[in-house]
Structures are given as structure tokens and as C-alpha cells.
Structure 1
Amino acid sequence: MSEAGNDSVPIWWILVFIVLALGLGAIAVLSVGGSLIDPAMLLPLA
């Protein structure tokens, strides 16, 4: 499937890396007792 001499990274590798990084970040925040969504952020900025 890959061609010889093709040094480009497949887009799905990038997507997998982003999903894993976001998942690990969420686990880190939740493991220290943090919240992913701050209720104050949901209020309109008026």
C-alpha cells in the first residue's frame, strides 16, 4: 500500500495521535480531580 520513497505521513496516523493525546489529557485532568467543563465557561460573557 505504501510506495517506496514516499516520506509523507498518512492522515489517519495524525488523527490517531490527536485522539490519543486528547484522551490522555482528559484522563490526566480527571485523575487529579479536575473538571473538563467549567460551569463558569458556560455562562454568557455579558
Structure 2
Amino acid sequence: MRRAAWNADRTLSVHDDPQRAPGEGEVRVQVVNAGICGSDLHWY
């Protein structure tokens, strides 16, 4: 699973973590697109 993390030093890092099987009552969702709100751009 690929994830992005916003770090305390204001850098963005990308990590590849092993995928685990969903537990009871959980589902796996495939994200096709993602974005950020224009009003949140000041954080970056």
C-alpha cells in the first residue's frame, strides 16, 4: 500500500507499506483519484 505523510518539518514523504488483509467488519477501498481543496493550499 502506498501512502503519503505530511511531516512535522513540512515535507511530504511517500512510503510503501505491506498490505494486510481486512479484518472482520472492515473493507478495502481502491482510491482512484485524490485531491486537496484550494482553500487548503496555504498549508503547502
**Highest CA radius of gyration, 1 or 2?**
1
Same fold (TM over 0.5): no
Q: Which has the higher contact order (CA 8 A, sep 6+)?
A: 2
Going by fraction, where is strand more abundant, 1 or 2? 2
